[in-house]
Amino acid sequence: MKKTARKICRITLAVFAIALLGGCLYLNRLMPIITGYAAKNLASAVFISGREPADIEALDLNFSFIRFTRNRVDFEKREVTSRFLWSKSKAVFRDGFGVTLLRGRGKDALLARTWPLANDDAGSPALPRGDSVLTARMEPIARSLVDERAYNGNPFAFVVLHQGGVVAERYGKGIGPDTRLLSWSMAKSFTNALVGLMAGDGMVDIYAPLDIPEWQQDDRRTITLNDLMQMQSGLEWNEDYGNRSDVNLMLHCETDMGGFAQSKPLQYKPGTHWYYSSGSTNIVMRWLRGRFDSDEDFLTYLHDRLFAPLSIHNPYFESDISGTPVGSSYLYATARDFARFGQMYLEDGCIGGKRVLPEGWVDYSVTPASDSKGGYGAFFWLNRDKSFTDVPEDLFSCIGHDGQRIYMIPSKELVVVVLSCSHLPDNMIDFDRLMKDVIAQIH
């Protein structure tokens, strides 16, 4: 009897030890993602958005394993170090470039890179105010969203343009008109604009196969910019944010994000299967960068051809270690800047009567991808699938993780910008109700 009990005890201890070892190994593989997320996002929110570290930790970092990180902000060196158990990550801020995680490259080498337009901080001109009656109607919605949180979530900023004028504008605690906030995946639509500008300048052909050397020996050689922008590249990809997925590895572990994404094998025939992939956008951005002789030439083109015409001064399109802007995720700009961008697409690529994007580019951008069932165009979300039941079908949008939104409705001459922090589905802003209420007030 005693021998049996001892045997059971040994088996139980062995199983426990194996389970503990397995758990430690799995956790160890998550460490760079946990500490990398904390360091990168805390540093950007402090040094770009100007927010207080305690507020960021209590809201932005208060979820999953991220909440257990220990973070140190060095204001003199403009860097953040985040630790969790036996792992740590460091993120460094640079003028003009924003924050970059140190992965496989020393801080000194990173800081040695400069960009002459890094301090273009002239300030954006005031947006025109809208009709006073309509503004008064929107005020209760703005107050309910931001102050009372009646629409759920944690709103940072809310701006509504109608017929080009501001009819609602409100900000949360510690946030204002000059606060630059994170786009998350709304950055993909800015990458769309960059492709459009380069296409209009005769620098790229969106329907031509890409000349990526690694792709020339297999069927990936047929992939086009159009396939990538419509999320139908066929490349293998896992966009699950809750584990050691492709998107988490790319954003928190890789030195060359576009290179990592383009190394993926082909899973489907290009142009036939729709599935969301942040990797696709970073492939596009990396390939576009390759059309220029240097990072400085590329960034100057982006500034002069896109940001300057929109009066977006000193945005931060943060780059990876290789120097390429993270087109999928890391753009920091003000709520008004995002509103101007939406207005440009609302006006068919023009702003203030001046054409910025080539004629026909917006129509192309909102044409549904063949396998998207009317829900996606080219780095823009669509409402052709009527996912918004009480909103016009011509609505199209830029959608980012954690509740970042730019909604454009041409038939209503309406642009709605919401920037927020909503980690969990049950804490997400009720955008359906919000958009329905906004539209109801413009009639």
* Environment class of 41 (CB within 10 Å of its CB; exposed 0-12, middle 13-18, buried 19+): buried
The segment(s) of the chain belonging to CATH 3.40.710.10 are 132-441
pLDDT at 212: 97
Task: Name the β-bridge partners of 235.
Answer: 266
Ordered strands of the 87-94 beta sheet: 70-74, 79-84, 87-94, 98-101
CATH topology of domain 132-441: Beta-lactamase (3.40.710)
CA distance 329 to 318: 9
Planar angle of CA 274, 419, 329, nearest 5 degrees:
45
pTM: 0.93
Mean pLDDT by 10 residues, the chain (443 residues): 62 50 56 96 98 97 95 98 95 94 84 71 77 95 97 97 98 96 98 98 98 96 98 97 90 97 98 98 98 95 96 94 96 98 98 96 98 98 92 97 97 98 85 96 88
Give the list of residues 6+ apart from residue 443 with CB closer than 8 angstroms, or none.
Answer: none
Are 181 and 421 in contact, with CB atoms under 8 Å apart? Answer: no
